[in-house]
Structure 1
Amino acid sequence: MRRLLPGPAAVLALLLTVPIALSPLKNYDLFFHLAGARWLLSHGFSRQDPFSFTGTSGWVPHEWGFGILAELSLRVFGAAGPELLTATLVATFVMLAWRAIRTASSAPGLVELGVLALTLVSQAFTWYQERPYHLGHVLFALTVLLTQAWRRGNARAPWLLVPLCALWANLHGSWLLGPALLGSTAVGALMDGGDAAHRRRCLLAMGAAGLAFLAAGLSPSGPGIYLYPILHSVLASTQTLEEWQPMDLSLLWARYFLALALLAVFVCGGARPRSWAILLPTLGLTVASLGAQRHAPFAALLLALFVAEHHHRLAPSALPEAFRAAWKRLEGWSASWIQHASGSAWPFVVLAGLALSAALHPASVRERIYPGRFPLACFDTLKSLPPGKVLNRFIMGGALSYFAGPEYKVFIDSRNDPFPQPIHDDYDKFVYGLPGWREALARYSPDYVLWNRTGPGSILPDALQREGGWERLLETPDEDCVLLQRKPR
């Protein structure tokens, strides 16, 4: 019966992932991953960007594995595939995170459930996005479990990170966090002190972390991948992306992350002794997440582990007796639920049922796409015209490559790094009407313009038609898009 009763993490995973699995396709980035996967399956890897006429920095499909998984899910389950993939990855992260939190605690209870919930809410901005960082979250959680196993005495656990990191580097750019977590955990354990045998174990774990770092080179990027995460993070164009900006505490999820961080600080101040083996990596990743909010889901898990491991070491509470009595009752209910309900398969059983239904009744991408989000009519019109160069908005590029095809070369898309900084600078000129936009237009000489009619940058279509030389082919108010074609000279 214990295995049949859903545990608290399974209930959270169910409530979270079923809506994800049933939601429409909505993320712009998904479509450049799908377009890239179709290209790779047909042509193999290439350093030359096949989708744009400006990507002179070369195409580095370092997250190609996610694209392949998304494309295969689309072929098997129809348009529900990418959402089912996302939901399955989120459910897997929930269950792995809960296992890590339970392992860290000497007596799992209400506090452990609370920090799990805070961890998940800190990840909330990723839930409904069909993007590869869900794979990064799952692989990071696996790395956490490996480091916990090593701390408990399993000498083989660190070496399992080597093949895991080789896989990770082909799925998501967060692979560097794997060696960093193991290495900093080993350094922290060394700081905690121990005998000569303990120091030797720490040095061996550091060696495993170094080997895992080198294993990332087993990817199409080769040794260039070692510097890629750092070089990408310092690009000026990267700093304009929301997820790479400092944490915005006006966002609700960021406030919950801050609450989790403050709870960890409180526990750290009162717990004795404190373990540097978990404190050191937690501190480093928390600081990194404040500088780039995309790191917050990873840091939240380490903060939760620190609280789970240390809160039992706090001195007895000085809170009023009535409050302590209420807390004790809630703690007893929580501990009883955790102990007597170990069913963890329910989220995956439900998702398997949804997958079977989707496979039997597959929907097309057009049937499942978020209404009005993508200018499908403009893509269709463009596809009926001769292939050429398209001046497009940043977020539309991947979808344009997917729906119209790689023959219609985009000016830019949200892969970001194939495009040198001058391309981003010229794009800003088009968006904001900055001096030099006419010269830039003449330099690139696009055949088509696919642009928004509202919001920043909406002045470009009207400016082009006023100056002549352009014909408006289609305008779709519902999709907020206009398609222009250069007139024959």
Structure 2
Amino acid sequence: MTERAQGEPRFPLLARAYAPLVALLLTALLTALVRRPLRAFDTYFHLRFGEEFRRDWSIAHPGQLSSASTNDWVPTQWLSQVALARIDDSSGTTGLVLAFAAVVVAFVAATYLLLRRHAGPGIAITLTVVVVLGCLPSLSLRPQLLSYLFLVAVLAAWDGARTTGRPPWALIPLGWLWATCHGMWLIGVAACGLLAVLVVVERRPRRTGALALLAVPAGMLLAALVTPVGPRLLTAVLLVNSRADYFAEWAAPELITVAAAPVTVLAAAAVLLLVRRTDVRPYDLGLLAMGGAFALYSDRTVPLALVTLAAVVAPGLSRWSAHRPVARTELAVALGLAAVVIAVAPNQGLVDDSADRVRPFTARLDALPAGTRVLTDWPVGGVLLRLDPGLDIPLHGYGDVYTDAELERYADLDHLEPGWDRTLAALAPGAALLPNDAPLAYALERDGWSVEQRTEELVLLAPPAS
């Protein structure tokens, strides 16, 4: 019996079949996922805001959809909102599904290729699956999905610069695009700055080379500040920190849960693998620190943490298996599977549409006079913004348009905190569409509001005639 060559797998047939099988399972998962582009109510208010920008809103000084919100807000994702509204207007739900499928597939494929640079197909596809599983709660048709894709581009660009020493100038126009598409553009600039410093520390180029590398994040920042919104983008991003108390996505995540298992496992694996390595360099430690910061900052940045930590884990695991460059056949298979997901997407029925629970009330809502103010919670209000633009929806979940005082008042209204009745009187709604189990719905019924229609989830209430 001949001795097995170093680096050769113990079961070569299983090793060759493993990556294609996992790739097929991932394709099936993505095919199921793209049936759920509208599961987040945010998609609907993004469509409404995009439509307003297409009509007459100024990007520099946009308007308001209700007198119940008065903040002098700054649009941080106007281009993606306009694009969504155009797609919806021209191609309807089919176009939205295709757009969602295309961006999701691009994100997954880019993640795989990033990891494949440092690991074999089996390790790269396994880590990609872990990343996708961890991202599932965040994958819906919202502008933030572009931020996940753009971060992969930043990581890939600096991974290449680490090898070649050449500045990734393409990130500068990406900075402009990112700043028009989503508010996490500043995180991308910060990540770019950290990685640029790490590459300089690791490669120790001459002064001109170092300055060229450091010019990339500076160029990204400048490009972001010359968008149609201008320097006000910086103040808009800093405002987000004051909103974490009102929107769960910006609160710190709970990492000791089943849902957080993928990011927790990747973080633990990254630490253990770096401890065991003897060739750890500043860049590796910087990636670990960045991934940990993303994991701790908020629920919305957990997908960024997953990608970053997977990029730390991949080189460590590759030491235990043979690593070969991407072959043309492998690339062709990946492109073929991606094409399958996109081609199948519009031919499936949608599920988990957040508007489905609102649609039974359409007839009664349409019968209300134009401009009627309808009291809702954030999710229902977000959907109604798009489904019935003739109504005045004071609460809809797009936090940028509210002042901190308004957010506090509306949170107190939702929880029946002292002063809620004064807020209700100031809003003077002509109807209310609320969850059946909402304390506010119970309080309104107790105070004489009549039930106009009820489903298992929502109740439509009318105020007393007086």
Determine which of 95, 98, 106 is the counterpart of 2:112.
98
For residues 321-360 of structure 1, give each alpha carbon's deviation from its aligned partner in whole angstroms, at most 9, with x where no partner exists: xxxxxxx8xx57x9799785332222342244336758xx
Matches within 5 A, 1:294-305: 294-305=300-311
- Give 1:111 deviation, angstroms: 3.3
Matches within 5 A, 1:34-113: 34-45=47-58, 47-103=61-117, 105=118, 108-113=120-125
C-alpha change, 1:59 and 1:408, in structure 2 (3 Å) is farther
* Aligned residues of 1:166 and 1:219 also touching (Cα < 8 A): yes
Corresponding residue number in structure 2 for 1:207: 215
* Aligned residues of 1:163 and 1:212 also touching (Cα < 8 A): yes
Give the alignment's TM-score, normalised by structure 2.
0.86
* Aligned residues of 1:63 and 1:169 also touching (Cα < 8 A): yes
Determine which of 126, 133, 145 is the counterpart of 1:121.
133
Corresponding residue number in structure 2 for 1:16: 29
Matched residue of 2:126: which SS?
Answer: helix
Task: Using the TM superposition, name which of 94-103 and 434-443 deviates more.
Answer: 434-443
Determine which of 271, 286, 294 is the counterpart of 1:288.
294
- Give 1:34 deviation, angstroms: 0.9
- Give 1:162 deviation, angstroms: 1.0
* Aligned residues of 1:62 and 1:170 also touching (Cα < 8 A): yes
Counterpart check, 1:396 vs 2:380: yes
* Aligned residues of 1:185 and 1:280 also touching (Cα < 8 A): yes
Corresponding residue number in structure 1 for 2:398: 415
Task: Using the TM superposition, name which of 265-274 and 20-29 deviates more.
Answer: 20-29
Q: Aligned equivalents of 1:294 and 1:45: distance in 2?
A: 28
Counterpart check, 1:378 vs 2:361: yes
For residues 158-186 of structure 1, give each alpha carbon's deviation from its aligned partner in whole angstroms, at most 9, with x where no partner exists: x2111111011111111123222221112
Matched residue of 1:412: which SS?
Answer: coil
* Aligned residues of 1:123 and 1:253 also touching (Cα < 8 A): no
For residues 218-268 of structure 1, give each alpha carbon's deviation from its aligned partner in whole angstroms, at most 9, with x where no partner exists: 334321112322221x21x32332222222235323112111111110111
Corresponding residue number in structure 2 for 1:263: 269
Corresponding residue number in structure 2 for 1:325: none
1:202 partner letter: A
Corresponding residue number in structure 1 for 2:445: 462
Q: Aligned equivalents of 2:427 and 2:346: distance in 1?
A: 48
Give the alignment's TM-score, normalised by structure 1.
0.82
- Give 1:275 deviation, angstroms: 2.1
2:64 partner letter: P
Corresponding residue number in structure 2 for 1:147: 158
- Give 1:8 deviation, angstroms: 7.0
Counterpart check, 1:160 vs 2:149: no
C-alpha change, 1:9 and 1:148, in structure 2 (3 Å) is farther
Corresponding residue number in structure 2 for 1:273: 279
- How many residues are paired up? 445
Structure 1: stretches of 5+ with no match in the other structure: 1-5, 314-327
Corresponding residue number in structure 1 for 2:144: 133
- Give 1:269 deviation, angstroms: 0.5
C-alpha change, 1:355 and 1:257, in structure 2 (3 Å) is closer
2:108 partner letter: V
Corresponding residue number in structure 2 for 1:182: 192
* Aligned residues of 2:251 and 2:298 also touching (Cα < 8 A): yes
1:241 partner letter: F
- Give 1:193 deviation, angstroms: 5.5
Counterpart check, 1:347 vs 2:300: no
Q: Aligned equivalents of 2:203 and 2:407: distance in 1?
A: 50
Matched residue of 1:344: which SS?
Answer: helix
C-alpha change, 1:48 and 1:229, in structure 2 (3 Å) is closer
% of aligned pairs identical?
21
C-alpha change, 1:290 and 1:133, in structure 2 (3 Å) is same
Counterpart check, 1:435 vs 2:418: yes
- Give 1:397 deviation, angstroms: 1.6
For residues 347-388 of structure 1, give each alpha carbon's deviation from its aligned partner in whole angstroms, at most 9, with x where no partner exists: 342244336758xxxx9xxx9773884322434322322223
- Give 1:94 deviation, angstroms: 1.1
For residues 425-453 of structure 1, give each alpha carbon's deviation from its aligned partner in whole angstroms, at most 9, with x where no partner exists: 22233222222222222223333322222
C-alpha change, 1:48 and 1:54, in structure 2 (3 Å) is farther
Q: Aligned equivalents of 1:111 and 1:243: distance in 2?
A: 30
Q: Aligned equivalents of 1:191 and 1:448: distance in 2?
A: 62
* Aligned residues of 1:8 and 1:338 also touching (Cα < 8 A): no
Matched residue of 1:461: which SS?
Answer: helix
- Give 1:312 deviation, angstroms: 5.0
Corresponding residue number in structure 2 for 1:229: 237
Task: Using the TM superposition, name which of 66-75 and 270-279 deviates more.
Answer: 66-75
Corresponding residue number in structure 2 for 1:451: 434
- Give 1:101 deviation, angstroms: 0.9
* Aligned residues of 1:461 and 1:482 also touching (Cα < 8 A): no
